[in-house]
Amino acid sequence: MLVTDIEMPRLSGLDLAERVRQEAPRTRVVIVTTFARAGYLRRALDAGARGYLLKDAPSHELAGAIRRVHAGGRAIDAGLAEDVWDAENPLTEREIQVLRAAETGRSTAAIAAELGIGVGTVRNYTDSD
């Protein structure tokens, strides 16, 4: 089990969670942070974190949540989970497709050809060459 923060000197807790997911997938990750933001929670869950807790929670709640994750469950700050559930994604489906394709590191020309759109459109979505 790994308990980490988001802000760290060399590697963010989100990047660390992703690395742990890839290199030690059985390790359960809990992020304890001050960032009560839906975007961070979404990224943490996508990176494989099993818990996302706020530092200002009472210590007995933090301890219980960490125990829950250790036992195989999940623990997410309830108020923040509600915010994420209700949040609307501002991106269009096409923007999401382009960004997912860009994650692979392919060129804008390759992405444009794959999706049947112009290279300029890919650049507009990704702000890359």
For 92-111, what is each residue's pLDDT tens digit?
A: 778 878 888 887 888 888 98
The yes-or-no verdict on residue 41 having pLDDT over 90 is no
In total, how many domains does the chain have? Answer: 2
Confirm if 68 and 75 have CB atoms less than 8 A apart: yes
Nearest alpha-carbon partner for 100 in 113, 116, 115: 115
Confirm if 36 and 80 have CB atoms less than 8 A apart: yes
pLDDT of residue 63: 94
127 vs 30, which has greater pLDDT? 30
Q: By 3-state DSSP, what share of the chain in percent is helix, strand and coil, each rounded to 5?
A: 55, 10, 35
Domain that holds residue 19: 2-86
Based on the fold, state whether residues 7 and 31 are members of the same structural domain: yes
* CATH code for position 19: 3.40.50.2300
Based on the fold, state whether residues 16 and 54 are members of the same structural domain: yes
Backbone Cα Rg of the chain: 18
Strand bridging mode 29-33 / 51-54: parallel
Q: Convert the pLDDT of each residue in 51-81 to its tens digit.
A: 999 999 999 999 999 999 999 999 998 888 7
pLDDT of residue 55: 92
Based on the fold, state whether residues 16 and 75 are members of the same structural domain: yes
Residues β-bridged to residue 33: 54
The yes-or-no verdict on residue 129 having pLDDT over 60 is no
Based on the fold, state whether residues 15 and 71 are members of the same structural domain: yes
Based on the fold, state whether residues 18 and 64 are members of the same structural domain: yes
Based on the fold, state whether residues 14 and 65 are members of the same structural domain: yes
Average pLDDT over residues 85-89: 67
